[in-house]
Every structure is written in structure tokens, then in C-alpha cells.
Amino acid sequence: MVRHLYVHLPFCASRCGYCAFVVEVGALEMRDAYLDGLCHELAAEHPRLGALETVYLGGGTPTLMRTRRIAVLLEAIAPSMAEGAEISIEANPETVDRAAFAGLRAAGVTRVSIGAQSFQPQLLQSLDRRATADQVRSAVACAKEAGFASVSVDLLFGIPGQTWEQLEADMAEVHALGVDHISWYELEIKPDTALARMGAQVPDDDWAADAYEMIVRDLEGYGYRWYETANFSQPGHECRHSLGYWSASDYLGIGVGAVSTVDGVRWRNTTALASYLGEVARSGRPGRTMEPLDAATRRRERWMLGLRLDQPLDTAWAGPPDHPEVIGRLEAGGLLEIDGGRVSLTRRGRFVQNAVLHELMEYA
Ligand SMILES: C[S@@+](CC[C@H](N)C(=O)[O-])C[C@H]1O[C@@H](n2cnc3c(N)ncnc32)[C@H](O)[C@@H]1O
Ligand code: SF4
């Protein structure tokens, strides 16, 4: 039975220059039909649902669904929720205000994740973000006032053209916000995005490595726990939904383009809105690409996800790495620690996590 539910809410006002997510631009008139579609899919998947510990409303721009539709959606999910479930929503700063957050809180949302990305006007512009730095600050203030259990912000580093001074200025802003949780990702230039098409270059590897070290050091200095590669939390504010992914738990994803992993099978819903709506109305099941996960894939994923965390990986559960012969060398080199059957990256190892994983595991 599944304990984690993801709901994809794809509507956006425009597409940001770095974004490769499944997004619907300029289709706001489809929101009611989409809500109906989600309810059909949810009903069809009901037999798979155990008492849900977490629900994550992601996008897209979930807050463009407006509170009234989010409330209907959460009412439909409510009978499947465990007591004390974490209910998260991603919020774009320019789409929310005091009333919107109060409404989301009243609808049962417990955790809000605000997409800031940066506070520097030139960088926000170069990313095609719609929100200004002031709108980000105001969204955070309104979210804190609304009384969510946790307020998080998303930031990016390694933005084309980003200077060290701009990174330091973002750090000062983040510190001043005093939020419970921070996700600070290194920007990836994905194919078929505006940044890729214009040939934008991210800062070089040394700059990015220094930036990452600074981010970790400063946020730890401000009392955040570096509990996952790109995630930092004040005690007790870790994202339980994401922890479910990183510990390779089963999860169900509903909505256009949503991914699920249940009982060793992964599937992805159609990314085409019109097909999604037609198919869920007919059968509750959208078109899906199915991928059975073999034992080796599942073992590799447990390692790749598990070593992102600051908690040791239990090898009795995860299985062996592909190259156990390199463990002694990684341990002697101060990158890996082993305690009985429990393996973790050292602090130094966490900064070069990808290189360590490439030594331990074969990639598909
Ligand atoms: C589902 S996305 C977008 C949520 C929301 N619509 C927004 O724009 O804030 C969640 C987060 O992923 C991160 N992200 C998106 N694209 C990325 C990329 N190409 N590289 C690194 N991080 C990315 C951003 O920090 C973003 O806030
Ligand atoms: S608002 Fe978020 S999901 Fe929408 S295009 Fe921008 S980054 Fe992508």
C-alpha cells in the first residue's frame, strides 16, 4: 500500500528559461476539467492507497489552481490520509497573498515551498521569472503569518552570469528570511529550454564547488541541518515527502506527466493534457509508459538515493554496491565510512558524491 501521494498541477503563466517540467502555459480555462480528471484518477487508484503520510502538490504552479480547487482536491484525498499527514504545496510568489495562504492553511495544507530562485533582479530576469525579489519576501512573510507547520524556499546557484557577490547577497537574504527549510539546487541546463537554446553557460566546476561549500557552511552556521545533498532544515522541519523518495519508498503520482513507483514497477502518465483528460474520464487510467524495475536497478537506486542523506545506508536492505572492491580505497581516502552493515559518505565524500557513486555503481 502506498503512503506517499504526488499530485501534478501543470498550469503556469509562462515557461521559465531553465524549466523542463511538464507544464501547460495559457490553458487556465482547463483547470476545472483538470480537477475532475484528477478526481477520476484518484478514485481509480484508491485500492492502492494506504493511510497517506504525505501528500505533495507540485507543478507547474499549483497555486494557480486557486484555493477553492485545492480545497476540493484535498477533500477528495482526505479519506485516505493518516492522522498528522504532511500536506505540501509549491507556491510561486507572484500568485499568492495573505488571503491565499490563509485559505490554503484552512484547506489543510501544512507545508509550503516558495520558489524564490534568487533575489537578484538581473538573475531573476535572466531566468524569465515573473516574481520580483520583493514579491518573494512578501510571500514568505505571508506564509509565516498564516501559520504553516513549515515554510521552505527554493534557491538556485550556478546561474549563468552569477557572480560571487550575488551569491553572497542571496545568502544574506535567505538568512534574513528565517525560514524552516531551504532547498538550494545547482542549476542544470536541460535540453529544449530557452537557456539551452541560447547557449547559456553555467559557471565553471571550481566556482560551483566553492559555491556549494559556502552554501553548506553558512546554512549550517545558521542552524540548518544539511540532511540531503541540496536540502537544509531546522530541526523537525525536514520534508517527509522527499524523505520518502530518498529512502526508495513506493509513491503514487497522479496528474499529467506524473511518475509512480509501486511494487517494483515505475510508470509515467501521458504528458499530453488532452489525452490525459479524455482517458481519465473514460476509465480513470491515463495512458502510461510502464517500466518494471529489475533487482539491479532497485539496488542501484537505493544506493544513489540513500547516499544523498546524512543518515547511514543499511546495506542489508540496500544490497551490495556493484564494485565492493573500491570500498576499502574510498574509506582509506576519507570519503566513505562503514560501521557494521551501515555505510555513509563522510563530510568530504558528500561534496564529491557523484564521483564516489560513479566508483561504486554501474549506471544504466
Ligand atoms: C517543480 S519546480 C518548480 C516549482 C514552481 N513552479 C517554481 O517555479 O518555483 C521545483 C524546484 O526545482 C528547481 N528547479 C527547476 N528547474 C531546475 C533546473 N533546471 N536545475 C536545477 N533546479 C531546478 C527550482 O528551484 C524549483 O523551485
Ligand atoms: S513557474 Fe516553475 S514550473 Fe512553471 S515554468 Fe517556471 S519553473 Fe517551470
d(CA 256, CA 8): 6
Q: Is 304 in the pocket of ligand 1 (CB under 6 A)?
A: no
Residue among 8, 14, 15 whose CB has most ligand 2 atoms within 8 A, to mutate: 15
Q: How far is the CA of 19 from the centre of ligand 1 (A)?
A: 7
What is the three-class DSSP state of 12? strand
Query: Do the beta carbons of residue 30 and residue 278 sit within 8 Å?
Result: no
Q: What is the grid cell recorded at 23?
A: 507544464
Q: Is 187 in the pocket of ligand 1 (CB under 6 A)?
A: yes
pLDDT in tens, 101-110: 999 999 999 9
Which of 335, 300, 331 has its CA nearest to residue 318?
300
Which ligand has the minimum distance to the alpha carbon of residue 127? 2
Confidence (pTM) = 0.97
d(CA 12, CA 14): 5
pLDDT of residue 363: 72
Q: What is the grid cell recorded at 132?
A: 520580483
Q: Output the tens digit of pLDDT for each of the chain's 364 residues.
A: 999 999 999 999 999 999 999 999 999 999 999 999 999 999 999 999 999 999 999 999 999 999 999 999 999 999 999 999 999 999 999 999 999 999 999 999 999 999 999 999 999 999 999 999 999 999 999 999 999 999 999 999 999 999 999 999 999 999 999 999 999 999 999 999 999 999 999 999 999 999 999 999 999 999 999 999 999 999 999 999 999 999 999 999 999 999 999 999 999 999 999 999 999 999 999 999 999 999 999 999 999 999 999 999 999 999 999 999 999 999 999 999 999 999 999 999 999 999 999 999 987 5
Q: List, in order of start, the domains of the chain with CATH numbers.
A: 2-246 (3.20.20.70), 295-360 (1.10.10.920)
pLDDT in tens, 342-355: 999 999 999 999 99
Residue among 9, 12, 128 whose CB has most ligand 2 atoms within 8 A, to mutate: 12
Please report, rounded to a whole number, the percentage of residues in the chain having pLDDT higher than 70: 100
Atom from ligand 1 closest to the CA of residue 115: 9
